[in-house]
Amino acid sequence: MAESSGEGQGAAAPGSSNSPKLKLIHEGKAQVEVSAANEVFYNPAQVVNRDLSVICIKAYHQLRWRQLQANKANKKTRGTKRKAVGSDGPLPDQDGASPAVPPQDESSAAPVDTEQHNGTGDAHGSRAQPPAAAFRGLVDVPESHRLTVLEPLSASGLRGLRYLLELPHCVRHVIANDIDPKAADTIRHNRHINNISPDQMHVECEDASVLMYMWKRRGQQQGKGNGADNLDIIDIDPYGSASPFLDAAVQAVKDGGMLCVTSTDMPVLAGNTPEVTFSRYGGTALKARYVHEMALRLVLHAIRTSAGRYKRSVVPLASFSIDFYVRVFVQIRNSSAETKNICKETGLVFQCVQCDTFHVVPLGETVPSKNPQGPDRFKAPHMPTHIGGTCGECGGRYTIGGPAYMGPLYQEEFVSLCLEVCKAADADDSDTLDGLTQTPRIKGMLGAVQQEWFDLPLFYHLPSLCAKIKLQVIPLKAFKSALLHLGYRVSHFHREPQAIKTDAPPTVVHDLIRSWAKEHPPKNTKHALLQKDIMTEGIDFSLHKDVSTLMGSCIREDRDASSQAQPRWMPNPQPFWGPQKKARSSRG
C-alpha cells in the first residue's frame, strides 16, 4: 500500500512560512513539533498511557514468542503421537474436538492458555497454577519476529515514533494514520526530525475504520482469513470513545495479534447517560463505587461481542483504569469454539439502591454433555433463588446494570512479563527503555493489578459501607482480617485502595458491618441494615497473619510481602492532570 503524499490536500507542511507557530515536545526518546494553536492533538497527561504501552508491547513480544515455541512443541508432540498410533488425521483434544491447525506463518501467535483464567475453579475459587513457562524472565527474540503496529488515530505520530525508537528489537514497522491532512503532514515532519525512514513509518491520511477494513481485505486476498497477515498490533487511542473503531479493529488484527484500546469518555462509562452507554458499549453502567471497574468490563464487553460476530475470541491480557480513561490490552484469536464462552462470561448486575449489596448473574452456563467424550453444553441460566424482588439485607429495590464482561481482567503471565520489563528499564545496562519516565507509577499499578483476585468481578467500598449507617469507618486491615479468618478471599482494586474485592456473599459482608456496629454504635441505629440478625458465626477482627500493611492493602495468600515494596497508589505529577481540548480539525 503506497503512502499518501498529502499533496493537493490544502495543508501546509510544518516548518513552512504558512504553518502556524510550532512547539517542540520531548517525550521518551522521541521529539515532536506540534502546533501551538492546538491544530494537532497532544496531551501530556497521556504520557503514562504511552509509557505503559511501550512496556506492554515489549511484554507481548515476549509472550508471543513463548506461545510460538509452545505451539511448535505441541505440533511436534502431535506428530510423534500420530506415528505411534498410525493415524494421519489430527488428534482430538481432551474435550473431543479436533485441534486448530497451527498458523503457517512463524510470526503468528499461538493460542493463549486461558483455562487457568476462565473463572472456573472449585467452590472456593482456588486459582490454577500458571504455565511452567511463566515468570522465567525476558529472553532474546530473533529479529525476524519483530512486530508491525498500526496506529489508526496517530495525531502527531508521537506514539508510533516512541515504539520505533524505544523498541527497535520488538517493532519493525509502524503505520501511522490520521484523517486530518494537517496531522498527516505533522507526522511526516516528525518522522523526519527523528531520523525515521519511510520504510519504518508509513503515513496514511484516511478514515481510521476504512483503513482497517482495507487491511482486513488485504489479509483475505492473501488467503489468511480474518485479520491482515502483517498487523501484529493495532493501537486505538481516540479522543473520546473507542466504540466506533472496534468492529474494524477486531477484524484487521492478525490471529494472535494484540489490540490496545483506550476510551476517555468516562462520564458515559460511569453511567451519567446510561442510554448513551448502552448505544456505545452494549450495556449500561450503574452509579456505584465500582464504576471504574464496570467501565473496564463494558469496554471489554464491546470488544468481545464485536469479535464474536466473526468467530474471533478475546483474551484480556491487562486492563487498567487510569486517571480519566481506561486502557485495555487484549489478544485476538480465530476460535469459533472459544466464542461460545461469551455468554458464560457475560452477566447482569443487580445493585440495591439503599445499600451496597450487589449480585452478578451470568447470561449463560454449561452443563455436562450426555456423551462423556463430548464438550459441555450451553444453556440459559435460571434466576438465582436468593435474588428476590427486594434486597435481602435492607429491603431496598434493585437496579439492573450490564450486560458486561465478568471474566478475568488480566493474564497473570503477561502482567509478570510487564514487571520484568520494568525491571529491565531500571537496570543500568538498559539502552532503549531509558526513555520511560513513569516507571515507578506503572510498576506500582502493575503490582496492584497482580494482587487482585482475577476471577472476582466488582467490589465493595469500605467507607461507603460504613457511611450508609453513619458508622465510623472500620480499619481496612481489621475488615480484611475478618474475611480471611472466615476463610474467604479478599483483595483490592488496582485503582481503589479502599476496595473490598471478595468472594464472601453480601450477607457475610454486612454481618461484619453489623458486628462492628454492635461494639461501636453508629449515629443511625434504626437503619434497615442493622435490624437484621447476625447470621455469621466466628467473626474475628484481630489481625490475620496474611494481612500486609503495605499501602493499606491485603496481599494475596500466594504472594510474598517482601516483593511488594513498590508504592501502588501515587498522586498526579502536576495540577490539572486530565483531559485536554479536542484538536481543531482542518477538514472541510
Query: Which set of grid coordinates corresponds to residue 577?
Result: 492532570
Residues in the chain with pLDDT < 70?
Answer: 1-2, 4-20, 37-42, 79, 81-136, 219-229, 428-432, 548-588
Whole-angstrom Cα Rg for the chain: 25
CA distance linking residue 189 with residue 193, whole number of Å:
6
- CA–chain centroid gap for 470, Å, is 35
Query: Which set of grid coordinates corresponds to residue 327?
Result: 486502557
CA distance linking residue 73 with residue 408, whole number of Å:
27
Look at residues 295, 324, 497 and name the one whose alpha carbon lies nearest to residue 405: 295
Look at residues 354, 400, 358, 399 and name the one whose alpha carbon lies nearest to residue 530: 354
Contact 155, 41 (CB under 8 A): yes
Say which amino acid occupies 48: V
DSSP state string for 197-237: -TTTEEEE-S-HHHHHHHHHHHHHHTT--SS-TT--EEEE-
pLDDT, tens digit, for every residue of 427-470? 765 566 888 999 999 999 999 999 899 899 999 999 999 999 99
Residue 374: its pLDDT value, please? 80
Residues 6+ away with beta carbon under 8 Å from 366: 344, 376, 377, 378, 379
CA 135 to each of CA 62, 304, 447: distance values in angstroms, whole numbers, following the listed order: 11, 28, 14
CA distance linking residue 256 with residue 274, whole number of Å:
33
Query: Which set of grid coordinates corresponds to residue 579?
Result: 483531559
Phi/psi of residue 479, each to 5°?
-65, -45
Residue 117: its pLDDT value, please? 37
Question: Where in the chain are the domains?
Answer: 460-563
Look at residues 487, 511, 509, 513 and name the one whose alpha carbon lies nearest to residue 500: 509
- Residues recorded for the chain: 588
Residue 104: its pLDDT value, please? 38
Look at residues 172, 176, 174 and name the one whose alpha carbon lies nearest to residue 187: 176
Neighbour-count burial of 22, counting CB atoms closer than 10 A to its CB (0-12 exposed, 13-18 middle, 19+ buried): middle
Query: Which set of grid coordinates corresponds to residue 197?
Result: 525512514
Question: Across-strand partners of 398?
Answer: 352
CA 524 to each of CA 354, 412, 514, 528: distance values in angstroms, whole numbers, following the listed order: 14, 43, 12, 10
Contact 340, 378 (CB under 8 A): yes
Contact 445, 434 (CB under 8 A): no
- 8-state DSSP, 345: T
CA 57 to each of CA 27, 136, 168, 216: distance values in angstroms, whole numbers, following the listed order: 17, 18, 12, 22
Q: Is the peptide bond before 522 cis (omega within 30 degrees of 0)?
A: no
Contact 71, 111 (CB under 8 A): yes
Say which amino acid occupies 370: K
**Cα angle for residues 233, 441, 412 (degrees, 5° grid):** 55
